[in-house]
């Protein structure tokens, strides 16, 4: 990692595992020159300046039982940082595994880890011991901070480490009666802590991809990366205000959730509400109305479930509803708008890029499009050789900006970054006005009888039928057509499944999009395989359900 002065991170394990310089993305800071400091600590920048920014007494972290101001949050973070460095002897560059559902406890732990110059390795709450072992084996954390309610699987993973175990210490949080827990330890510490003098190019976090392809990777982001991301989509599209109360479902272990539900609100001087319990659709609407939520983040699948409740109850405080994490069908966008009067704020981002890089404000929405490239980024549609394609042509998306992909010890880096450009693995087309239209993941394009068909386009058509709750579409090998289209549908009323409904849905698709795009095979299911963040796992449809024999 090129830098003019020595890194503050004594442990160089992650830095040593970064790609060679020729495989790095180019980084452009058109609107983020103010983050290009040699010395920069992300948390110090966002939290320690709260008095100077006039936010010290503003609420930051909220829950049903607790409200912490910016100043109180800083004090709590400082106490935890003392536990990590003084009690546990961790040095800058060491990794700390974090495990928990979205809560004030997890937010405080994450901020303390990064402020102390350590590297946060947040993990999805639903991961099992085997999956946690894989992350531990890659990141080599020595300490884990874990919600008391999720300790069992992590303890199993600790016991299943190989011959050279790295994870030695487990400390629980959200456990007020545990005298050895994080809160009890922190209560004995000083509220003064000098932030580690990290470089902007020092590592803040390792983010593991959510597994839509079945092969998670560790993406590395620096202090400068995360702060630069604040100067792009949050500034030019989201436009959050100090008066905003932010709420949503994406886990903080997912960069969509970390940005939307912690980093970006702090950058704006806003506050975040954590419900501390599983979020069911009725709970989400009740929380929005009882707390006065103004910005909500969740996935398209959840918005479909929220729409009828919102139509009945109203959501008067809500002004911005953000959808990301998976493709937003236009049918879902229109359903939500009819229910609430709100235009959905859509966006596409990537764990590898930290957050959203294509999006549009509500008033700039165009039907079927995700939006335009976010200021600070540049995007184009290219062919396999990286040459830009004519307007309207489907090709691969290439992106460049203030953030970019840096995989840790992964040969797939050279596939993601080519000639400095990031290739997120999505097929798009762009119109003459610069709007980008998502077609599919590169490997989800279905070529049937010589036609290119994007799985999301077929899914959107199916979702326009009132009987369909959710659906997933894949291509299957076919000797005659090359591939055929296979749809997996979850019906709102399961007793409607049958041959008649299959024919009804096929005819419906033919009236919405070109007839050759209709699914020749339909399988009805109780639920679809998804990641914790709501992304459809099409690889599981292919792997586990491609042998289904029900045909039409």
422 contacts 353 by C-beta, under 8 angstroms: yes
Per-residue model confidence (pLDDT) at position 483: 82
CATH number assigned to the domain with residue range 449-545, chosen from the 4 options 3.40.50.300, 1.10.260.40, 3.30.300.30, 3.40.50.620: 3.30.300.30
Edge-first strand listing for the sheet containing 95-99: 169-173, 143-147, 95-99, 119-123, 203-208, 218-222
Q: b/e per residue, 94-122, with b = 16+ CB within 10 A? A: bbbbbbbbbbbbbbbbbbbbbbbbbbbbb
Which residue from 472, 523, 532 is spatially nearest to 499, judged by alpha carbons?
A: 523
* CA distances from residue 395 to 245, 443, 445 in whole angstroms, order as listed: 39, 12, 10
Output the pTM of the full model: 0.84
Show me where the domains of the chain are located: 449-545
d(CA 444, CA 397): 14
- Sheet strands (E) in 460-538: 468-478, 482-491, 521-524
Burial-class residue 316 by CB neighbours within 10 Å (0-12, 13-18, 19+). exposed
β partners of residue 173: 147
Q: Count CB atoms within 10 A of the CB of residue 361.
A: 15
d(CA 15, CA 28): 21
Per-residue model confidence (pLDDT) at position 443: 65
* CA distances from residue 243 to 236, 317, 417, 500 in whole angstroms, order as listed: 18, 12, 39, 52
d(CA 383, CA 369): 20
Per-residue model confidence (pLDDT) at position 164: 81
Tokens of 76: 């709590």
Which residue from 399, 395, 475 is spatially nearest to 437, judged by alpha carbons?
A: 395
Q: What is the CA radius of gyration of the chain?
A: 23
Coil/strand/helix, residue 400: strand
Percentages (nearest 5) of helix, strand, coil residues in the chain? 35, 25, 40
d(CA 336, CA 326): 16
CA 378 and chain centroid, separation: 21
Residue 247 half-sphere exposure, CB side, CA atoms within 13 Å?
25
Per-residue model confidence (pLDDT) at position 102: 95
d(CA 133, CA 247): 31
Per-residue model confidence (pLDDT) at position 371: 94
> What are the residue ranges in the chain where pLDDT is below 50?
1-3, 212-213, 549-552
Tokens of 367: 């039907």
């Amino acid at each position: 990692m090129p830098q003019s002065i020595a890194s503050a991170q004594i442990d160089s394990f992650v830095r040593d595992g970064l790609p060679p310089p020729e495989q790095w993305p180019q980084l452009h800071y058109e609107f983020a020159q103010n983050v290009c400091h040699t010395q920069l600590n992300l948390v110090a920048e966002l939290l320690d300046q709260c008095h100077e920014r006039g936010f010290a007494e503003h609420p930051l972290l909220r829950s049903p039982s607790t409200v912490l101001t910016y100043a109180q949050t800083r004090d709590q973070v400082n106490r935890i940082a003392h536990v990590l460095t003084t009690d546990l002897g961790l040095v800058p560059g060491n990794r700390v595994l974090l495990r928990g559902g979205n809560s004030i406890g997890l937010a405080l732990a994450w901020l303390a880890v990064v402020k102390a110059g350590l590297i946060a390795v947040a993990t999805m709450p639903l991961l099992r011991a085997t999956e946690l072992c894989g992350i531990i084996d890659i990141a080599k954390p020595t300490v884990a901070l874990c919600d008391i309610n999720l300790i069992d699987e992590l303890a199993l993973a600790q016991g299943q480490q190989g011959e050279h175990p790295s994870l030695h210490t487990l400390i629980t949080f959200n456990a007020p009666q545990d005298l050895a827990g994080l809160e009890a330890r922190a209560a004995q510490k000083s509220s003064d802590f000098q932030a580690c003098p990290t470089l902007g190019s020092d590592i803040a976090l390792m983010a593991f991809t959510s597994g839509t392809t079945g092969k998670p990777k560790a993406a590395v982001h620096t202090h400068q990366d995360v702060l630069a991301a604040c100067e792009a989509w949050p500034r030019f599209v989201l436009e959050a205000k100090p008066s905003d109360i932010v709420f949503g479902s994406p886990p903080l272990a997912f960069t969509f959730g970390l940005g939307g539900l912690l980093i970006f609100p702090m950058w704006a001087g806003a506050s975040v509400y954590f419900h501390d319990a599983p979020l069911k659709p009725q709970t989400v609407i009740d929380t929005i109305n009882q707390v006065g939520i103004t910005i909500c983040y969740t996935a398209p699948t959840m918005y479909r479930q929220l729409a009828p409740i919102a139509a009945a109850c109203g959501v008067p405080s809500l002004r911005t509803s953000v959808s990301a994490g998976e493709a937003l069908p236009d049918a879902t966008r229109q359903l939500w708008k009819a229910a609430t009067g709100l235009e959905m704020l859509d966006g596409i981002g990537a764990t590898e890029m930290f957050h959203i890089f294509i999006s549009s404000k509500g008033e700039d929405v165009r039907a079927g499009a995700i939006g335009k490239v976010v200021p600070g980024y540049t995007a184009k549609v290219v062919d396999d050789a990286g040459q830009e394609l004519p307007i309207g042509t489907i090709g691969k998306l290439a992106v460049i900006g203030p953030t970019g992909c840096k995989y840790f010890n992964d040969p797939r880096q050279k596939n993601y970054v080519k000639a400095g450009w990031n290739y997120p693995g999505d097929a798009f087309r762009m119109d003459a006005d610069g709007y980008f239209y998502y077609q599919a993941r590169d490997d989800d394009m279905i070529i049937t009888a010589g036609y290119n068909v994007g799985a999301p386009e077929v899914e959107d058509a199916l979702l326009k039928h009132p009987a369909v709750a959710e659906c997933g579409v894949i291509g299957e090998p076919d000797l005659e057509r090359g591939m055929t289209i296979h749809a997996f549908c979850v019906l709102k009323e399961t007793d409607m499944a049958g041959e008649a409904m299959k024919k009804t849905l096929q005819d419906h698709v033919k009236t919405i999009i070109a007839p050759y795009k209709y699914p020749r095979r339909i399988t009805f299911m109780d639920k679809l395989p998804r990641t914790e963040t709501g992304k459809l796992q099409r690889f599981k449809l292919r792997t586990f359900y491609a042998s289904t024999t029900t045909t039409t």
